[in-house]
Amino acid sequence: MKNRNVFRPNLRELGERARRQIEQDLKRLSECLAAGKPVSLRLSDEQETEIALPVTTVEMIREALSLERDGKSFLLLEEEDEVSPEKAAEMLRISRPTLLKKLDRGEIPFHYVGSHRRIIVADVLAYRRRQKEQAQAALRQMRDEADELGIYE
């Protein structure tokens, strides 16, 4: 995996004033996105340079601000990056032994680098997406069966 920064905001250092500012900024960003208005970044250089930001970048900034406001850590990775089984297990919020079983059963693709397993981030995200879809489908099925049986009327 390439060297990436992990952003771990400290809520005690952030302060109430900063949290309120983030809340206001999030509201403004959301309003601009909803209205289809362009968003730019103004640099505090001698020329007051302004950079137009693509919508996807603004959405990423909005998500980062939300996470920071909530005191959550986040990691910026490319989908092509490779991670260790430990990091993949952390991303999936499962134990390393559970992940290794999933790798051995072929549920998540991996390859070896020397004697070490490596997993492509896109494959970890695809597995997480599949798991979420399966869980939602199971919930829909249980709800439909409960409706048929008249349990929740």
Which domains are seen in the chain, by residue range? 6-75 (no CATH), 82-149 (1.10.1660)
pLDDT value at residue 11: 54
C-beta of residue 55 within 8 angstroms of C-beta of residue 33: yes
Give pLDDT, residue 69. 82
pLDDT of residue 68: 82
Q: Are 84 and 118 in contact (CB under 8 A)?
A: yes
Segment holding 1, helix H or strand E: none
- What residues contact residue 98 under an 8 Å CB cut-off, 6+ apart? 89
Beta strands in the chain (DSSP E): 6-7, 39-42, 50-53, 74-75, 82-83, 111-113, 116-120
What does pLDDT average to in each consecutive run of 10 residues of the chain (153 residues)?
55 74 90 91 88 92 87 80 94 96 98 97 95 95 90 71
pLDDT of residue 151: 82
pTM score, two decimals? 0.64
SS3 label, residue 85: helix
CA-based nearest residue to 92, from 119, 127, 57, 68: 127
